[in-house]
A and B are shown apart, each in its own frame.
Chain A
């Protein structure tokens, strides 16, 4: 029972990360700086929302209340969302979105590598599938950090500002919640703390290549996994959930 609850929490966290970040990237649709990058961001959004569907479908089954993926996405309130804060922070300018994506992708890749050996068959399958897609995401966001950082005076300044602003949201992904312990023990869920050193190494190498610097301050914002969110999440949900809540039986 306890293990089931822990698994529900963990799967919901993964589903919410991908759903909310996918939604954020979707906001770029039609607003990208150039057509190719507009398409890139919406492609990544599509991958993430596809992954979210698989996680939330699974979470719905674990909920014990026969919830569907749509119930999970559209009929939960802010406090029930368990995504990392990083996923919900606003798009800002292109550099801000790149910084957010860069930190997320670097974590996501390392995390999925571990999750693909999970003892849980469903998580294992989702992770193997997602890892292939995230390989492309990571390549794209890393490339843009370098291109903007090692670019013009303005692009460098904006990329540096973005890294400085977003950095404090990157640490939360490496802090487990209490209920993770039982899953880590059973080989179902990675111990996220173990990913931090590889993350730091990868990030540092790319930041250096981009002629940028990481903030020295290691203060990190936390709270997403326990449902304490920034004010931004409520606005996302208001937009995302309005239609299914106002017209519960609406179909395409």
Chain B
């Protein structure tokens, strides 16, 4: 019989293996979608939170989490969706940011840099392909709700920017 703490640590570890359906290099834990794992009266409760309100991945993520817990024989458990405090890009782990860059998505800048970048005032975002900061915003809205669309004027590659929320 493992202690509750160990069991909870195992579940965190397990969920670190659940990938985001749209950015499959990053886990739902790295993304900060799994907010809490705890035991309540003999039941494991996992709190998850949506990124953007309308993000179509939210439901897939919930199903993947349920599937992973079921496959690992965790029982009984409940997955709850919590809204508050709202998800923010500051909840991305350092590991998550590194993986995003490697995957070709510029990770969110801090809020003031983000604002300048999206307002097109300053070119401070680094191209995840060549590292140049000579980049240009094409659109505040990109291929998924969480991303803006940029292009690099140095290597001419388009890239996604995971915008601040």
Contacts and interface: CB of A to CB of B under 8 A. Distances in A.
Nearest to B88: A132
Interface stretch (A45-53, A212-220, A232-240): A45-53
Consensus secondary structure, chain B interface: loop
Given A36-B138, A139-B140, A128 B56 contact: no
B145 A46 contact: yes
B42 interface: no
Contact of B165 (A50, A124, A133): A133
A29 interface: no
Interface string B127-164: 00000000000111111010001000000000000010
B107 interface: no
A146 interface: no
A40 B86 contact: no
Contacts of B140: 40, 136, 139-140
Interface string A32-45: 00001101100111
A144 B85 CA distance: 32
Interface in A18-72: 22, 36-37, 39-40, 43-51, 53-54
Number of chain A interface residues as a range: 20 to 34
Contacts of A125: 83-84, 86
A8 B118 CA distance: 37
A48 B53 CA distance: 8
A121 interface: yes
A176 to B, nearest CB: 25
Contact of A43 (B84, B85, B88, B145): B145
Interface residues of B, number: 24
Interface string B93-121: 00000000000000000000000001100
A36 B54 contact: no
Contact of B141 (A43, A51, A53, A132): A43
A130 interface: yes
Contacts of B163: 136
B32 interface: no
B54 A124 contact: no
B74 interface: no
B55 interface: yes
A126 interface: yes
B149 A51 contact: no
Contact of A39 (B50, B52, B54, B143): B143
A129 B118 contact: no
A50 B50 contact: yes
A124 B84 contact: yes
A126 B52 contact: no
Given A36-B149, A43-B141, A121 B56 contact: no
A46 B54 contact: yes
Contact of A49 (B54, B84, B86, B88): B54
Interface of B: 50, 52-56, 83-88, 118-119, 138-143, 145, 149, 163, 165
Given A22-B54, A53-B53, A125-B86, 14 more contacts: A39-B149, A46-B56, A47-B52, A47-B53, A50-B53, A121-B84, A129-B50, A129-B83, A129-B86, A132-B86, A133-B165, A136-B141, A139-B118, A139-B119
Interface of A: 22, 36-37, 39-40, 43-51, 53-54, 121-122, 124-126, 128-130, 132-133, 136, 139-140
Closest 5 CB pairs of A and B: A50-B54, A50-B53, A46-B54, A125-B84, A36-B139
14 contacts: A36-B141, A39-B142, A43-B141, A43-B145, A48-B54, A50-B55, A53-B54, A121-B84, A126-B83, A128-B83, A128-B84, A128-B86, A132-B88, A133-B145
